[in-house]
Structure 1
Amino acid sequence: MTLSPDIITVGVPDVAAARAFYASAFATTADNDRDTALDLHGSGRLALQQIDELAAACGAEPATSGFRGCVLSSIVQRPAEVRALLAAATAGGATVVKPARKEFFGEFAAVHRAPDGALWKLAAASKKDTGPVPAVPRPIETAVFLGVARPKASKVFYEALGMAADHDYGDKFVDFAVSAGACRLGLLPRRALAGDAGVDGQGEGFSALALTHTAGSREEVDTLLAEADSAGGRVTAPAVPTDGGGYVGRFTDPDGHHWRVTARV
């Protein structure tokens, strides 16, 4: 039993518009015309849901203001691909928060705010444009970074749910090993996360974000919910069967970030 962020769900004001933006920005498509989940080239999936519906499912009020306490990230191979992704995003209506450039510690990155309000950091795995640059940049990894009170304490919580730390810098930064086809999860102090994204750290209300783990069985769903509860999280919706043949429950981590755990019955 290992928790993994298989799907990132973003609450948006207009699902059709958001779907068109992300499909264009990441040069990807949904599985079918009715599916709003986009395959991020094997580095996880991005789902889109009306923000008030997502808030209701999470047991939260939909109102939000300022920094939401989370940053999404797309990691590509080269700096030129960061520039290309940023250009595609801005052409689709995104706003540049930090232009593409080499950061203080040598990272080449950019940050934009999508039309739905989500912050995206685009980063290059290498510092130089070595080798040919693909016409359509594809992320080698997708990450979600959560702002927390203390990364060390949050690390203990996620380890109780089976996750293994990959990089551990104490209360500065922690991230976890990536499962195949899933997204990376990272933890930073909320103010530091906002600073890295280039925005003011003040904000309150719903994060407009939920992470989904797809479990292998109904029993695994129940186990993960029980572990989350005993480790300091809160079960916000006990697991129940759904009309579509699924089995779904929800919890929040100690900092209030929302998770959905699901399995086919």
Structure 2
Amino acid sequence: MNITTDRATIETVVLEVSDPAAASTFYAEAFGLGDRLGVRATDAPTTGFRGFLLSLVVSQPSTVDSLVGSAVAAGATTLKPAKKSFWGYGGVVQAPDGAIWKIATSAKKDSGPATREIDDFVVLLGVENVKATKQFYVEQGLAVAKSFGSKYVEFEAASASVKLALYGRRAAAKDAGVAPEGTGSHRIVLGGAAGAFADPDGFRWETVRR
């Protein structure tokens, strides 16, 4: 299957959860992502690291703290407390449904009052072979925006859509603060106009028509 670049974007991320009502309430209180994030019921077994992180990129540290704080208040568990690093400021939390969220900024100082504004919503897939999975997505019509060999790839995305990026699985798990081992369902589906398919690591896409 080969598709055009303008169709190969993520319009919505669907998390498969055991309790959709509870998950919907959590995400509304924690992040307020609207129709870019959906949930639906599943009883598919999953253990350990599911192979992905969901990243919210914001403008300044106080906004990181605001989103981390609201997530924890809504029931999330802290995996990495928000703190400064050489690349900026950020933290990692795990939602009650098990999905791992990284909230980060490249800024180390605030430039104004804290907001709830999210600049970018990024799906970070931890894959076994970054180069091979990169080539797979290029063949599906995605255009590469950034590429650092076998370490990291980021694809272009329309301004209102969700970005897609690739890490090695172990690097993704380290970034999340968890062990890399995991089995069973990823419990995530990426929705767009690209059609229905699964990538080399079993991450599923389905068609979304608006």
- TM-score, normalised to structure 1's length? 0.74
Q: Give the superposition deviation at 1:27.
A: 3.8
Tell me which residue corresponds to 1:218: none
For 2:51, the equivalent position in structure 1 comes to 69
- Superposed CA deviations along residues 43-67 of structure 1, whole A, max 9, x for unmatched, are xx00100123xxxxxxxxx110000
Q: 2:62·2:113 contact (CA, 8 Å) conserved in 1?
A: no
1:16 matched residue in structure 2: 21
More relative contact order, 1 or 2 (CA 8 Å, 6+ apart): 2
Shift of 1:251: 1.2
Q: Secondary structure at the match of 2:175?
A: helix
* Corresponding residue to 1:258 among 200, 204, 208: 204
Counterpart residue number, 1:107: 88
CA contact (8 A) 2:47 2:183 kept: yes
Q: Distance in 1 between matches of 2:149 and 2:104?
A: 23
Give the deviation of 1:131 after TM superposition: 2.3
**5 Å matches for 1:61-140?**
62-103=44-85, 105-134=86-115, 137-140=116-119
Aligned length: 205
2:183 paired with 1:204: yes
Question: What amino acid is the match of 2:16?
Answer: G
1:26 aligns with 2:34: no
Deviation larger for 125-134 or 197-206: 125-134
Which amino acid letter does the alignment assign opposite residue 87 of structure 2? G
Q: Which of the residues 157, 179, 187 maps onto 2:136? A: 157
Structure 1 equivalent of residue 12 of structure 2: 7
Amino acid at match of 2:78: V
Separation of aligned partners in 2, 1:14 and 1:207:
16
**Does the alignment pair 1:176 with 2:151?**
no
Q: Deviations over 1:164-214 (max 9, x none)?
A: 11110010000111212111101011011000111110111101000001x
Separation in structure 1 between the aligned mates of residue 149 and residue 109 of structure 2, nearest angstrom = 29
CA contact (8 A) 1:26 1:138 kept: no
- How many angstroms does 1:163 deviate by? 1.1
1:254 counterpart letter in structure 2? P
Q: Which moved more, 1:118-127 or 1:108-117?
A: 118-127
CA distance, structure 2, for counterparts of residue 73 and residue 80 of structure 1? 16
Query: Secondary structure in 1 aligned to 2:209?
Result: strand
Q: Aligned equivalents of 1:93 and 1:27: distance in 2?
A: 15
Taking structure 2 as the reference length, the TM-score comes to 0.93
Matches of 1:187 and 1:179 in 2, distance apart? 18
Deviation for aligned residue 1:262: 3.5
Which blocks of at least 5 consecutive residues in structure 1 are unaligned?
29-37, 40-44, 53-61, 216-223, 226-249
Structure 2: give runs of 5+ residues left out of the alignment: none
RMSD between aligned alpha carbons?
Answer: 1.4
